[in-house]
Structure 1
């Protein structure tokens, strides 16, 4: 195995939304992403006792995750419909219960092993702008349930 020497690019991430059901998934690309970031912050609790001779101990008691994306809104050539993936996210933002959860996965688009899947609650934030700006939306998916590591579906 050779030693890695090339720096990975931020644009390596690919986000897909399940347009089907959990039983029959239909994964589709979320188009026109201009920014992508994710976090999975652990909750650590102080577990220090007299038995540690003054050294601190911590226990991981939970974990929260989030995916934040910004994308350009895409419309049909006749300007009568938006991207169905973008619309699924927008409509989930206004829904409650199971309809408010978006089944998503994201992975390294080059096929490297990093890939994750989970359900997130979207926060839809249109970015506004001036007359010559593009119509962009920032969406923050707050994880509900685990963020699972998966085999990268675009791996060779």
Structure 2
């Protein structure tokens, strides 16, 4: 194996939404992503006791994750419909219960090992703009349940 020398690019991430069911998934690309960022913040609690000779100890007691994505809205050439994936996210934003959860996965589009799957609650935020601006939406998916590492679907 050679030593890595190339810097990875931010645009390496690919976001897909399950447009099917968990039993029969239909993973579809979330098109026109212009920004993508994810975090998975652990919760650490102080677990120090007299038994540690004054050294601090901590225990991981939980973890929260979030995906923030901005994309350009895409419509059909006759301007009668938006991207089905974008619409599924928007409609989940207005829903409650299970329909409000978006089953998503994101991974390195070049096939490198980073790849994750989970369910998130979307916060849909149109970005507005001036007359010459593109119609963009920022969506923050707040994880509900685990964010699980998976085998990258693009891996060779």
The two structures have a TM-score, normalised by structure 2, of: 0.99
CA distance in 2, matches of 1:113, 1:100: 29
CA distance in 1, matches of 2:36, 2:11: 8
CA distance in 2, matches of 1:140, 1:17: 14
Q: Which runs of 5+ in 2 are unaligned?
A: none
Per-residue CA deviation, residues 36-82 of structure 1 (Å, 9 max, x unaligned), is: 00000000000011111111110000000000000000000000100
Query: RMSD of aligned C-alpha atoms?
Result: 0.4
Following TM superposition, where does structure 1 have runs of at least 4 consecutive aligned residues deviating by more than 4 angstroms?
none
For residues 108-147 of structure 1, the aligned pairs below 5 Å read: 108-147=108-147
Corresponding residue for residue 13 of structure 1: 13
Q: Which runs of 5+ in 1 are unaligned?
A: none
Corresponding residue for residue 41 of structure 2: 41
Corresponding residue for residue 23 of structure 2: 23
CA distance in 1, matches of 2:13, 2:77: 27
CA distance in 1, matches of 2:133, 2:120: 29
Corresponding residue for residue 89 of structure 2: 89
Corresponding residue for residue 52 of structure 2: 52
Shift of 1:119: 0.3
Corresponding residue for residue 105 of structure 2: 105
